[in-house]
Structure 1
Amino acid sequence: MKIPINQERLAHTFVQLCEIDSPSRKEKGVSDYLRRTFHEQGAVSIVEDNSAQQTGSDCGNLIVSFPGNSPKQETIFFACHMDTVEPGSGVQVVQTGDIFTSRGDTVLGSDDKSGIAALIELIWILQENRIAHGPLELLFTTCEEIGLLGAKALDCTRLTAAYGYALDSTGIDRIITGAPAANKLKIEVHGLAAHAGLHPEQGISALCLTANAITNLRLGRLDEESTANFGIIHGGVATNIIPDHITIEGEVRSHSLQKLAAHTAEIQRTFQQVMEGCPFPPSLAPTALEHPCPSPFPPEQQNENETPALDFSPSVSINVQLEYPAMRLEMSDPVLARVKKAGINLGRTLEFQVAGGGSDANIFNSFGLPTAIIATGMDKVHTTDECLDLKDLIRLTELLVAITVA
């Protein structure tokens, strides 16, 4: 199957997209660019939904429809997200041969603008070569990078497609058929503040309690289907105050809902056990109050009125939210059968894999819209070393054409 690709135009489109600032919640620049482009291409419908009210973005999700010219083919959809991670403002693309990078002080933005550029070129190819195809719906979401917020706020009844493809993964010629569910955890540990120099015995360090709990947890890869991580910690107000409040945030992922629940419960149980096993500070025990340790500081620097009550004990509050559900497709599903046929028509061997990350596709599948994930060639994403090979972008575009006409 020979597919004519305008390589210069494809590269130019990609560079233009990358150099439009679109951090999460500020995607309007890309949305406006897409509106102009698809209007020029003759889209029959360009609709922006009202998801911004829920996401806080400066624009909504964009749904673009193109009519088919082959009555035998059903409607399918392709999806990309418009936002990028930080540092993603002021991107200047550097092209060295076929390799695109940033100047090194920002991400490139190939996540997910490689997919967007390929979709724009797809429409040009279909029109210029009068290729027979079914109706197409193109979906561009906001706020994917900060919790799949645009996808979660989407009214899926706006789509008429039977199934579709999210263009959002590293590698090339790779199809993701399964992804884990994830629980987001926010844990707040409450201890007892005290002056770290005057009365350290009267404090209970929330930081030490948190560290004790984390030390007793299993983190990283838990089993062949599950992972856990804590990546954010906040707390403390000064170096001379024993911290009484620490907040940590993390996640548990698993392809098994049973394991997801079990690993999450293990974290909750461990923190509760640490709180219950914490003894009173020495200065709170009756004997300590009757025979306080002499202070090396003069009386005017001591405040005996700050002695806390005897009934204090540390506590923890744990908030668990399902960040996204798991997804799993079968090779017999039409969405995979179609892309497999496209690969055969191109003479390629596609890799069908289960991955460890979550994306908009998790949400679409939970809506009852079977969605496979297609790798776009993006590499070293979420870093300032991010790059994309033009040859991979061309291969992606060829695959999209083959899927459309399969």
Structure 2
Amino acid sequence: MPTRTALLIDFDNLFIALWEVDREAAMRFASEPGEWLQALANSHLTGEPRRWLVTRCYLNPAGYVHATADRTERLYFSRFRPGLVRAGFEVIDCPVVTRQGKNAADIRIVLDVMDLLNHKTQFDEFVLGSGDADFTPLLQRIRAADRRIAVVSPSYLASAYTAIADQIVDFDAMTAILHSDAGTDAVDDFDGANGSAATVSEEEQQRFAELIRQRYDEATGPLNLASLAFEAARVCPNAKRSEWFGHKSFSAAVAVLELPDIKLSQHHLWNDAKHQPPAPTASPPAADVPETIALLMRALDFPRLAKDDWSPLFDTLALYAEQDHADDEEVTRWVSEKLAQDHGIDVPRGTVSYVVRGCQFGGVRLDGKTAPTADQLSIAFFNALLDRTAALGSPVTPEEEDTLADWLGLELID
């Protein structure tokens, strides 16, 4: 029996979070809701097939983001309303209600969830699209009613979210949905006439092989399999729809190309004769991690980067801010690939997103009129972490502040 699901999306919260780190993903989220909605149901939420019995989107029609770096053009959220309606969303207008620009989306979502918990339909699952930490009590109420919970958010989340929710669809999962053709896979994988897998022309197979060989030959270090698969799916749409030419997985389709000296791991491929194996992405050894940092990793989902990786990360973010990226708004991809290329550091895009958001919460943006320095970015991120620990009711001591600053490569001035 399909899972009876209610989906409630805080549009402003999700769109702005995506816009600040990946504008292409943000536009796909706003412009192609029907596609990502299907992909979300089919690929990124576990369990039985689901029916979206309620799909509501809470949107400030007067809300906007700056469409250009000089802030002369505005992209208003109202332009996306018709597309959301066509995709079956019930759009709830939530205009600004405070001088600080806050709308009433959060309280409307809370009231609607409380009504739906007592609805005669008896919803099995609630999917909440927001990273607002104020929703923690609401998640606790949903959990107490014995309903499943999924949280969709590209922002870093309160630790309570990850503890209460059954599933988190984070930045990496969201961009995987929004940058791929997964939204159409469910209807295109088989043709209605005979149920056979989508056919792939010899020309498309050749195009796939040429793309992979070119990326492999040009690579200066290990290639991320997920990123390469997304690019291949865009260049050769039928490759994925045919289950990667019948090989069932992308890595298997790559393996049959018999590239020279190729090595494959769960997340990477590389030339064993030219490249060092990818750096492990797991936590640094416990003996090398101060207890303060270990606590932050647990409480705030603080990125599990080695101490020596933080300075290159802030340097690379500053380098991105200095350059003109009018045609390249995907800061997370650019920074992640630049770190791998220049420093041999494997930093996931989700980690870059976490740090960018932290810098923004600390008052420093990458797209400001003046490009921030690496020191300004690191200090902003440091201050945002302190604010988050205080908000959780466990502010750090001066000694712990010194430990955190040292880990981030900062030198505090008394």
TM bracket (short chain): under 0.3
* Larger-gyration structure (1/2): 1
Higher relative contact order (CA 8 A, sep 6+): 1
**Structure 1 length as normaliser, TM-score?**
0.24
**Higher strand proportion (structure 1 or 2):** 1
**Structure 2 length as normaliser, TM-score?**
0.24
**Higher helix proportion (structure 1 or 2):** 2
